[in-house]
Amino acid sequence: MTGRSRLPFRKHHVSSQLNRIDDTLRTATAALAALDDSSPRLEAELLLTQATGWSRSHLLAWPERELDPATVDQFNALLERRLHGEPIAYIRGQHAFWTLDLTVSPATLIPRPETERLVELALERLDAIAPLYIADLGTGSGAIAAALASERPNWTLIATDRSAPALRIACANFHALGLDAIHPMQTDWLAAFAPASLDAILSNPPYIPDGDPYLARGDLRFEPVSALRSGADGLNAIRAILADACRCLRPGGLLAIEHGFDQAPSLRQLFDARGFHRIETHQDLARQERVTLGYRPSEPG
């Protein structure tokens, strides 16, 4: 192959050999290292799999293979998007969560490892055999509902969101994963649920304070603000859920909510004020307090 490289590093004179897989990945990795919170080599490989349609194992097995100009142009366009800060999950249109590969878009949050703790707690705390009714509030891409349905096919999952575009993404994921028994519902938190109709309520709601500078950094700049921000202290959505949770839960029912690393004391107070018992906060893998849960009393009062 002759001519200049088509990779987007105009400050450097590069030879045509940069069109080899290994050199392409090496140069892209160096460029991606300038981004905060990136995994440069992994991201370079994922973008090249997107451009070529080949697997990562293929890239590693054939590092000397040359890329045709059209493929290099496509890779260049993907890489430029990432270098401008766009999340790689949105560029690729998919993201891994639990044991699943999910479609994502700018209409949904990107599922994060912290939220897997919420899934783990539900699997640990809820009866694996009983035919439970469980709501995933603010489902977004459907990550929580899909993970639970894949592990507990006897549970009935109701996945809710106010956003119609987000719910369409969730439904596409449920269908692609063969989880068509999940019930999608467009509603505002618990407004559509009957009294004592649920055995558990799970949610990763918006919980970032409106003025938090974190909203202007990294991937969050590209994610839907309505799924991130929730009032001056970040707790408006959580208050709305708690206000209605006891009405919708059956006696002994579980409520588990993901929240910010510094919000656990406030969550415990809010749970207690709403009459929940056996209130606990659990840490994520980074040892940050991440999920608070409690149970509706078995008897009123």
168-195: pLDDT as tens digits:
999 999 999 999 999 999 999 999 999 9
pLDDT at 299: 65
125 shares a domain with 62:
no
pLDDT at 6 over 60: no
Structure tokens at 295: 């149970």
Q: pLDDT digits over 103-156, tens only?
A: 999 999 999 999 999 999 999 999 999 999 999 999 999 999 999 999 999 999
| Confidence bin at 37 (pLDDT 50/70/90) | confident
Query: Looking at the domain assignment, is residue 80 inside a domain?
Result: yes
- CA 193 to each of CA 145, 189, 225, 227: distance values in angstroms, whole numbers, following the listed order: 17, 9, 26, 21
Of 65, 85, 105, which residue constitutes the final position of a domain? 85
- Overall domain count for the chain: 2
Mean pLDDT value across residues 270-278: 97
Structure tokens at 60: 């590693």
198 shares a domain with 128:
yes
| Confidence bin at 79 (pLDDT 50/70/90) | very high
Whole-model pTM?
0.89
Q: Which domain holds residue 150?
A: 94-295
Q: What sign for the dihedral angle of Cα 253, 259, 265, 266? A: negative
The b-or-e profile of 108-137 (16+ CB within 10 A means b, else e) is bbbbeebbbbbbebbeeebeeeeebbbbbb
| Confidence bin at 36 (pLDDT 50/70/90) | confident
